[in-house]
Chains A and B, each alone.
Chain A
Amino acid sequence: MSVMDDPAAPAHGLSARQMALYRFRRNPLAVIGALIVISVILAAIFAPWIAPSPESAGSFVDFRNRHSPPNWQNLMGTDNVGRDVFSRVIFGYRVSLGLVVGVLGVAVPFGIVLGLCAGYFGGWTETIIMRFTDIMLALPPLAMALAITAVLSPNLINAMIAITLLWWTWHTRLIYRIVKGQMNEDYVEAARVAGASHMHILFRELLPNCFSAVAVKISLDAGFVILFGASLSFLGLGVQPPTPDLGTMVATGSEYLPEMWWQAVMPGLAILYAILGFNLLGDGLRDMLDVEL
């Protein structure tokens, strides 16, 4: 018998990527999630060109048009100084996504490295890293963020720092658990027998096996970071006016509830839309990549 016609060879002739894409396409909610996320990202990138009234993003004032309800001119109405809410929502996505990129760009690599080290080295390294992670997890996140922004003066960068300081812990725990499981696989020992260095085993052997879980986690995280940032802004500790931010818009708009509902509800719906997109995408990715979180 030749090597080629081994009866246990995988069938249906599809590559792993094709199979994963197939599973993704068969999940309508995931596709909707992906479309939403793409629309949010495009809106953020091309905001100055898409927004019907780009000047509304700044300290533009048009008192003749203030408090006008949604109409064809202003799809989401105007706010208390006459700025177009729809345009501000589009620019608001810029701030939100900037926050997501800033926070996850720092927190995820940091959390991954700590998780890899804790799981791989074990012993004291594991005890110190994981107990520290546990302590960080025990701090109530919103209270902690309030404390940090209050001390450092409230602005976007400090809100980002506050969220980052709390966010890495989840990734450390996730990666730690995956690595602990992978340590039972023979390929780790095989790499050691082959003479591989610790760096090689950590980043070339173990890390690729964490990627799918991290991808799913990042997607789900993005929604939460947006929500968290909006919460801080709502409390006045995040982005400061006149920069358009969804949380701040809900906060100022809420003063005019219920009569001029659109000023708070529309930015609220915009937050919901983005988070829904990221969560649907995350769930879809989870099914597609077949990971457990």
Chain B
Amino acid sequence: MSRLLDIRDLCIGFDAYGQHRRVLHNVDLHVNEGERVSLIGQSGSGKTVTMRTIIGTLPMPPGKVEQGSIHYNGQSLLDLNKQDRNRLKGTGISIVLQDPMLSFNPVLTIGRQMDDVIRYGDVRLGISRARAERRAHMIETLKKVQLTDGARVLDSYPMMLSGGMRQRVLIGMALLNKPRLLIADEPGTALDVTTQDEILALLNRLVAEEGLSLLLITHNLGVVREMADRVYVMERGHIVETGTRDEIFDAPKHAYTRQLMAAVPPLYGAGVKTTRHEGTHPIINVNAVTKTFETRSGWLNRVTGTFRAVSNVSLTVQQGDIFGIAGESGSGKTTLAKIIMGLTKPSMGAVQIDGQLLDGFAGTQDFRKLIQIVYQNPGSSLNPRRTVGDQLAVPLKFTGFDKTATKRRISELLDLVELPQNYAAMYPHELSGGQKQRVAIARALSVNPKILVLDEPTSALDVLVQSTVIDLLHDLRREFDLTYVFISHDLSLMRNFCNRVAVMLRGEVVETGPVAEIFDTPQHPYTRALLSAIPVISPEEDARKPKVSKEERAAVLATSTELEDT
């Protein structure tokens, strides 16, 4: 088999602040004709630098190729002049980027943006086509990505399409000029798991039908298992292991690969840890809560419609529970969390925390000593301009701690979350993501609350870091007898962490119960569709996932192929 892309002994370094640092170390990687190759690694491992070097968008300087070569189809890419290299963009090598929103210009129609891609591609190839011909080609290409209503899609603006449709259009765009190698950088990461499932299936089909080669860059092992013939594992700029998919998944050799595998929470099978807990008295009572938002538009900001973010939700969380609220984006899970925290007032219904109604209770000192929240992104929930110590002191200051008591408590808190004492003087940007989230957890715990609301506390973290944070949460719960409300879209993680879950779909709780019950015998078709869409890392898990037919899926989920009628 001929090598379409061949990277040999590639070393890349960066000059930053007067220092030189090597970020890629002797990378060897190749993609054969018609092959699907995955490059997997955690953030900061060098996957994106590799990708950008291949397509020639790595800024140089500060980047510098120190040694090695990249050959595409026998041509040495690093020796090509700029013009020849540009000629390959889209026509030889094409790319699908991670964020389907950021990849579009919001003020131009999809058609205009696709047309540009064709025209510039044509210029490079030295041909020219009439407008109608180009439009026909676009509609044809959109059909390939299963967007049958091509004409309407072309006349839409990016904001009018759903995330899944935008990702489809992006893939279509990458295919417009008939490339031979498609590079996909985290193609499903920004999407819901059910949509990601559709997109991955689509990519797989296109590779087979169009005879493409695929280089997939991702951090998700489950995705790799569904998408790759061959796998490269990258750690800190080194390729630490490579092999066929089965070799890597069945018998990982390198310690790092094994570590990665072990950190992925299993969905089914022997490795699943079930958190058991039978609560005796309820601590949170959500009673028929509904939250409607008004949509306003047009003249004088009149109310033009209402939108139900949370619809008639009733839940009971027992003391000591790890209660999971699962759902995809827009399911209302974060709104529900804000209602429980007393940050948003429900339009109807009532919430009781520890026997007390929220009205008049939320925001008081007693309330703060009862329930606290950890946000999804510690980069945003910690003030970038205040030291860790200052931020830990805030809740203490407003619950009447004096200076010496505050100091003592801060040092206790740092110990609790296993951070060194000198971190109190550091600013958030000096900390890694996992360390920041530890600080956020410490802050939430500072006044000894009984309940923590955890709003996707690990979704911004790498899987290895995630497992350490989850371990920490387990320890803290045991030590302080905490109750958690755990909001997440990651069902595999919930299976192993929570003891009860509620599944939300468009503002409603469709299913709730003990975690083993929900996962082993899901009743609601949406739960089944959700579970079946999760990319897993072993054939055993695949076999035990619920099987969902297309019709069943369509009954509960909008597909990403249809435009909504407006």
Q: What is A's interface to B at a CB cutoff of 8 Å?
A: 1, 3-4, 6-12, 14-16, 18-19, 22, 185-187, 189-197, 200, 204-205, 208-209, 211
B433-482 contacts to A, CB under 8 A, are 433-435, 438, 440, 443, 446, 462, 464-465, 468
Shortest CB-to-CB span from B390 to chain A, Å, is: 8
Kindly state whether residue B432 has any CB partner on chain A within 8 Å: yes
- In the bound complex, what is the Cα–Cα distance between A196 and B363 (angstroms)? 10
The contact of A186 among B341, B377, B394, B398, by CB within 8 Å, is B377
B103 in contact (CB, < 8 A): no
A10 CB, nearest partner CB in chain B, Å: 6
Residues of B within 8 A of A208 (CB): 383, 385-386
Given contacts A193-B368, A205-B383, contact A14 B433 (CB under 8 A): no
Q: Are A194 and B17 in contact (CB under 8 A)?
A: no
Q: Are A22 and B386 in contact (CB under 8 A)?
A: no
Closest 7 CB pairs of A and B: A195-B398, A208-B385, A194-B395, A186-B381, A6-B432, A9-B432, A187-B383
Chain B residue at minimal CB-CB distance from A187: B383
Task: Choose among B373, B443, B468 the residue that contacts A1 (Cβ–Cβ < 8 A).
Answer: B468
Q: Contacting A195 at CB < 8 Å: which of B45, B259, B368? A: B368
Residues of B contacting A191 in the complex (Cβ-Cβ under 8 angstroms):
383, 394
For B377, the chain A residues whose CB sits under 8 A away are 186
Interface 1/0 per residue, B25-61 and A, CB below 8 Å? 0000000000000000011110000000000000000
The answer, yes or no, to whether B483 is at the interface (CB within 8 Å) is: no
| B468 contacts across to A, CB distance below 8 A | 1, 3
* Residues A19 and B418 in contact, CB atoms below 8 Å apart: no
- The answer to whether the Cβ of B244 comes within 8 Å of any Cβ in the partner chain is no
In this complex, which of A7, A16, A18, A209 has the most chain B Cβ atoms within 10 angstroms of its Cβ?
A: A7
Q: Whose C-beta in chain A lies nearest to the C-beta of B362?
A: A193
A187 and B368 form a contact (CB under 8 A): no
Q: With both chains docked as a complex, state the minimum distance between the C-beta of B424 and any C-beta of chain A, in angstroms.
A: 15
> From A18, which residue of chain B is reached at the shortest CB distance?
B17
Alpha-carbon distance between A9 and B363 when the two chains are bound, in angstroms: 35
Q: Kindly report which residue of chain A lies nearest to residue B434, judged by CB atoms.
A: A6
Contacts of B112 in A (CB 8 A): none
Q: Which residues of A contact B385 (CB under 8 A)?
A: 208-209, 211
> What are 6 of the A-B contact pairs (CB < 8 Å)?
A6-B435, A7-B464, A10-B430, A187-B383, A191-B383, A194-B368
Name the distance in Å between A184's Cβ and chain B's nearest Cβ: 8
Whether B343 lies near A193 (C-beta < 8 A) is yes
Complex Cα gap A15–B382 (Å)? 18
Is B330 interfacial (CB 8 A cutoff)?
Answer: no
The residues of A that contact B418 with a CB separation of less than 8 Å are 3
Give the number of chain B interface residues (Cβ < 8 Å): 54
> Is residue B521 within 8 Å, beta carbon to beta carbon, of the partner chain?
no
Q: How far is the CB of B57 from chain A (nearest CB, A)?
A: 22
Is there a chain A Cβ closer than 8 Å to B380's Cβ?
Answer: yes
Give the nearest-CB partner of A22 in chain B: B17
Name the contact of B434 in the complex, choosing from A3, A190, A196 (C-beta under 8 A): A3
Asked if A7 and B381 sit within 8 Å, CB to CB, the answer is no
Chain A positions within 8 Å of B390 at CB level: 204
- Contact partner of B383 (CB less than 8 A), chosen from A3, A4, A192, A209, is A209
In angstroms, Cα B19 to Cα A217, docked, is: 31
Given the known interface contacts A186-B375, A190-B443, A193-B372, the answer about A3 and B381 at a Cβ–Cβ threshold of 8 Å is no
Tell me the nearest residue of chain A to B469, going by C-beta.
Answer: A3
A3 to B390 CA separation, bound complex (whole angstroms): 21
Count, A-B residue pairs, CB within 8 A: 112
Tell me whether A7 and B462 are in contact (CB under 8 A): yes
Q: Given the complex, which residues of B lie within 8 Å of A14, measured CB to CB?
A: 17
The smallest C-beta distance from A193 to any residue of chain B, in angstroms, reads 6
Instruction: Assess the A209–B384 pair: CB atoms within 8 A.
Output: yes
CA distance A11 to B23 in the complex (A): 11
Contact B19 A12 (CB under 8 A): yes
Q: State whether A8 touches B44 (Cβ < 8 A).
A: yes
Most chain A CB inside 10 Å of its own CB: which residue of B17, B434, B438: B17
B236 at the interface (CB under 8 A from A): yes
- Chain A nearest CB from B527 CB (Å) reads 29
Q: How far is the CA of A4 from the CA of B430 in the complex (A)?
A: 12
For A18, the chain B residues whose CB sits under 8 A away are 17
Q: A4-B420, A193-B372 are in contact. List 9 more A-B contacts (CB 8 A).
A: A3-B418, A3-B435, A6-B433, A7-B43, A7-B432, A10-B432, A12-B19, A187-B380, A191-B383
Tell me the complex Cα distance, A10–B16, Å: 12
Is the CB–CB distance between A19 and B395 below 8 Å?
A: no
In the complex, chain B residues whose CB is within 8 Å of the CB of A8: 42-44, 432-434, 462, 465
Which B residues are in CB contact (< 8 Å) with A190? 373, 375, 381-382, 440, 443
- In the assembled complex, the CB of A203 is this many whole angstroms from the nearest CB of chain B, namely 12
**Is the pair A195, B43 in contact by a Cβ cutoff of 8 Å?**
no
Nearest A residue to B392 via CB reads: A194
Q: Mark B393-424, 1 if CB is under 8 A from A, else 0.
A: 01101110000000000000000001110000
Q: Which of A12, A186, A211 contacts B380 (CB 8 A)?
A: A186
Residues on B with beta carbons closer than 8 Å to the beta carbon of A196? 394, 397-398
CA distance in complex: A204, B397 (Å) = 13
Contact for A7 among B236, B427, B429, CB less than 8 A:
B236
- Can you name the residue of chain A whose Cβ is closest to the Cβ of B372? A193
Q: Which residues of A contact B376 (CB under 8 A)?
A: 186
Q: State how many angstroms separate the Cβ of B433 from the closest Cβ of chain A.
A: 5
B residues less than 8 Å from A197 (CB atoms): 398
B2 contacts partner chain A, Cβ-Cβ < 8 Å:
no
- From B18, B259, B419, B430, contact of A3 by CB (8 A): B419
Contacts of B465 in A (CB 8 A): 6, 8
A195–B464 CA distance with the chains assembled, in angstroms: 33
Chain A contacts for B386, CB-based, 8 A:
204-205, 208
A225 to chain B, nearest CB (A): 27
Q: Whose C-beta in chain A lies nearest to the C-beta of B16? A: A12
Closest-CB distance, B384 to chain A (whole angstroms) = 7
Which residues of B lie under 8 Å from residue A189 when comparing CB positions? Answer: 343, 375
In-complex Cβ contact of B42 among A7, A19, A185, A186 (8 A): A7
In the assembled complex, how far is the CB of residue A17 from the closest CB belonging to chain B, in whole angstroms?
Answer: 10
A277 to B292, CA, bound (A): 56
